[in-house]
Structure 1
Amino acid sequence: MKELSMSVITPPVAASFRSWQEVFRMVAKHRVLATVVFFAIFPWLMPYQSLAINILIYGLFAVGFNLLFGYTGLLSFGHAAFLGVGAYTAGILIAQHNVPWWAAVPTAVAAGCLVALVMGLLAIRTRGIYFAMVTLALSQCVYFLVYQLPASGGENGLRGVNVPEVSLLVLKLDLLNPLQKYYFVFTFVAVAMWLLSRILASPFGGAIEAVRENEARARACGFDVERTKLLSFVLSAGFCALAGALNAIHLSSVPIETLDYATSGMVVMLCLLGGMGTYFGPFVGAALFLLIQDLASSWTEHWQLLVGGVFVFFVLFFPKGVWGTFLQKASHER
């Protein structure tokens, strides 16, 4: 009887597994398209559009950090510097020099990459915890330099980053409308994710993963390890600076806390929650963190305790993160 029941139940279950495996392969093969389709409907899945915008922006910030931490294996505690430099550069150009947004955003990305180049040249020769501490120290130097700039607004932050309307090709978007602002940010995120996919699929993507897995062997195979790590550091900063510029436009201001070391710690948490070294994991981590923060802060002013407890739970029971654990289980089923 047991064998009969198994013979009856197993084929449908096996067919179901095979169908899910096919879907998984298709999504993995067309990950950029799958990401774009998901985020196209994402604002309708969230309680309100402003939360969806925050998830996009902080997810992009975590994507930049993940390129360095998850794919290259370098733990940085200084990535708030790149988010802040991108935000302040775009904000100052728009608010105080009347530079159009389409010029301010790429300038902010270039500024973030330039700061990363200087920081990287100083930090990249160190390893492990020393690299993390050097990036933290350099990030704090950036914090105090920006804090002392008259244009930054000091402890009050930068105000007046007003971009009420933008034109994308033939479309005009009203950024005072949260849904239209979402799709404005979504356009940049889609391009960034396409670029990330191209980077990971390139020989350089293989090189950074080789450095992550075994630096000594990568060096023995002829890779210029220092140059590879430096380029990864700069590219990572570019994604973070883009997130900072978009956040300045979204908030119409730039708080000085953007550059604080706590922001660097937060992006580590986002990456670990979602799954380091995964393509979509940073957005999962950002969504989980911001949703918990949004819900818990409406109940209590001590919402950090709940977020900390959730983080400890996932580190203990989902060490590869939410998305990383899902990918691991899906690959085992295949």
Structure 2
Amino acid sequence: MTPSELAAGRVVHRRPLSAGAVLDRWRVPLSIGVLCVLPWVLPSQALAVNVLIYGLFTVGFNLLFGYTGLLSFGHAAFFGGGAYLTGMAIAHFGLGWFSAMLVGVGGASLLAAVVGALSIRTRGIYFCMVTLALSQLVYYLALQASGWTGGENGLRGFTVASADILGLVSVNLLDPVQKYYFLMVFAALALWFVSRVLNSPFGAAIEAVRENETRARACGFDVERTKLLSFVLSGALCGLAGTLSALHLSIVPLDALGVHTSSIVVMMTMLGGVGSFFGPFVGALVFLLIEDVASLWTSHWQLIVGIVFIVFVLFLPKGIWGSLIARARREGETAR
């Protein structure tokens, strides 16, 4: 009860929060809690690391697609760019893991600023095609710069066996469990950051742009600047996922910049739920789990993934997590 209610002698019986409201209020700690137990419930710890990395990649993409309403087909440029810059900083310049990560995230953010400045001038399918074309440009630049990137063989020759944190703790990155929780710290910080962004006035601005760009402009929002900033933040998060991938694999394949990487992040987002907070990790889990299991049965596992994706688009358009959240909210409204 509030002080005014106490002074008036009134007894107010508050309704308990609905499941949807609880999930929204505690989304960051609940998400981190699920990620903490992931290595112990999945078939392998390597799969858990991949879910963590690609889930973070999808979180970055979802910020642009799910919350701002801009569908990009070129986000592999930021994921692969972050991975390549991190690997080159270690392999060619001998930087430490943290400095290399800063180079990767900073470079991906700068690349996103350039791509975003060129692409936000267009709309709809033209926006998609421009981002795809610019991403392919980055792909062919990496292919041709073989002295730096390794060309079609990818970047190799760097390994981060351990990570010293402030000279106090040394994490063995060759141990799967220690590696997972080391990478999870960055994923948790990214989730906290995204939650803060969504709860800020800027979060309201990007959702206003998503719902009705013309109305948002009429209300006084700088739509172009909002789109560009959202694009840069999205690219930075994808670049962070790329840096974690480089530290995890100790190689950077050229496919990290390819169209396939851009397409699977779209599929993961839609499988988990467009515009949902934890949906990206659910989508990454479902996609990678199907890939892990189906590839044991057949080399044509992509066909199975495609069929599952079509079924979800037709019968569960809000995705797995998005549908669960929507159902919880409906039940909460009905209970009121």
TM-score range relative to shorter protein? over 0.9
1:251-286 per-residue CA deviation (whole Å, 9 max, x = no partner) reads 110000000011111110000000010100000000
Q: 1:203, CA displacement in angstroms?
A: 0.4
Q: Give 1:10-49 correspondences, 5 Å limit.
A: 22-49=18-45
**Which of these residues, 240, 247, 250, is aligned with residue 248 of structure 2?**
250
Q: Pick from 257, 263, 266: which aligns with 1:265?
A: 263
Cα distance in 2 for partners of 1:27, 1:314 equals 23
Give the SS at the match of 1:167. Answer: strand
Pick the aligned partner of 1:295 from 287, 293, 296.
Answer: 293
Show the counterpart of 1:158. 155
Residue 25 of structure 1 deviates from its aligned partner by 3.0
Structure 1 residue 23: Cα displacement:
4.8
1:254 alignment partner, SS class: coil
- 2:105 corresponds to: 109
In structure 1, distance between residues paired with 2:120 and 2:228: 6
Instruction: Return the alpha-carbon distance in structure 2 between the equivalents of residues 118 and 166 of structure 1.
Output: 32
Question: Alpha-carbon deviation of 1:161?
Answer: 2.4
TM-score, length of structure 2 as denominator length: 0.92
Say whether 1:274 aligns with 2:262. no
The answer to whether 1:80 aligns with 2:60 is no
Instruction: State the AA in 2 paired with 1:32.
Output: V
Q: CA deviation at 1:86?
A: 0.1
Query: What residue is the counterpart of 1:4 in the other structure?
Result: none
Identical-pair percentage? 59
The answer to whether the Cα contact below 8 Å between 2:18 and 2:328 also exists between their aligned partners in 1 is: no
Q: What are the equivalent positions in structure 2 for 1:158-197 lying under 5 Å apart?
A: 158-169=155-166, 170-197=168-195
Q: State the distance in 1 between where 2:227 and 2:23 align.
A: 29
Partner letter of residue 329 of structure 2?
A: S
Match in the other structure for 2:311: 313
How many angstroms apart in 2 are the aligned matches of 1:54 and 1:181?
12
Contact persistence 1:166–1:175 (CA under 8 A) = yes
Give the gaps of 5 or more residues in structure 2. 1-14
Say whether 1:69 aligns with 2:65: yes
- CA deviation after TM superposition for structure 1 residue 26, in Å: 2.8
CA apart distance, 1:168: 3.0
With 161-170 and 117-126 compared, the bigger mean Cα shift is at 161-170
- Residue 128 of structure 1 corresponds to 124
Alpha-carbon separation, structure 1, partners of 2:65 and 2:151: 31
Q: Secondary structure at the match of 1:98?
A: coil
1:58 aligns with 2:54: yes
**Distance across 2 between alignment mates of 1:97 and 1:248:** 15
Distance 2:273 2:80 in 1: 24
Q: Would you say the 8 A contact 1:274–1:283 is kept in 2?
A: yes
Residue type at the aligned position of 2:56: L
Equivalent residues, number: 316
- Whether the aligned pair in 2 keeps the contact of 1:161 and 1:249 (CA below 8 Å) is no
Distance 1:124 1:75 in 2: 11
1:97 aligns with 2:93: yes
Corresponding residue number in structure 2 for 1:200: 198
CA distance in 2, matches of 1:211, 1:315: 24
**Alpha-carbon deviation of 1:48?**
0.9
Aligned AA for 2:263? G
CA distance in 2, matches of 1:46, 1:317: 27
Q: Aligned in 2, Cα 1:161/1:76: closer, same or farther, shift over 3 Å?
A: same
**Post-superposition shift, 1:113?**
0.8
Q: Which runs of 5+ in 1 are unaligned?
A: 1-17
For the aligned residue pairs, the C-alpha RMSD in angstroms reads 1.2
Q: Distance in 2 between matches of 1:227 and 1:48?
A: 43
Counterpart residue number, 1:285: 283
Cα displacement (A) at 1:22? 4.5
Aligned counterpart, 1:142: 138
1:158 match: secondary structure:
coil
Provide the C-alpha distance between the structure 1 equivalents of 2:172 and 2:314, rounded to a whole number of angstroms. Answer: 44
CA-to-aligned-CA distance 1:97-122 (integer Å, 9 cap, x gap): 11001111011111001111111111
